[in-house]
């Protein structure tokens, strides 16, 4: 049976949805909650298998996650920072107005960090295609 050919827009939308889910997964397991595979799947509205694939992708991208045996929850190693994302959030949480040039600089660094993350994901995808 022939595979359905997706348009470029559909492929890009799927990539954006996957990246969004990966970043949400990272945000959740970096937080203080208890996130098992089942709770992640429920929160992210996806299957358990998708959660496992996303965790593997994060691992290939260099995110040091682990399963905490005591709580049976996924965690990220203490001290790990997703560079750029935290910096942008800190700058936006400031009470003083954000200088537009400073915001542009932070945004550029965030885009660069995202590009590095995306390249790691692409490398993982190439690995899977072999």
| Tens-place pLDDT, residues 84-123 | 555 655 655 554 445 566 666 766 677 777 777 877 877 8
Over the stretch 60-78, which tens digit does the pLDDT of each residue have?
888 899 999 999 999 999 8
Tokens of 64: 């040091």
**Do residues 89 and 30 touch, judged by C-beta distance below 8 A?**
no
Whole-model pTM: value is 0.62
Candidates 105, 106, 121, 34; CA nearest to 72 is 34
């Amino acid at each position: 049976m022939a595979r359905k050919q997706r348009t470029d827009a559909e492929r890009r939308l799927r990539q954006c949805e996957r990246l969004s889910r990966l970043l949400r997964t990272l945000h959740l397991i970096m937080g203080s909650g208890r996130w098992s595979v089942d709770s992640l799947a429920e929160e992210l509205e996806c299957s358990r298998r998708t959660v496992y694939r996303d965790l593997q992708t994060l691992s290939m991208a260099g995110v040091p996650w682990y399963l905490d045996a005591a709580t049976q929850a996924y965690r990220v190693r203490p001290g790990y920072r997703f560079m750029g994302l935290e910096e942008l959030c800190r700058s936006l949480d400031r009470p003083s107005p954000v200088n537009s040039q400073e915001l542009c600089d932070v945004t550029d660094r965030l885009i660069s960090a995202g590009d590095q993350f995306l390249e790691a994901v692409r490398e993982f995808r190439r690995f899977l295609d072999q």
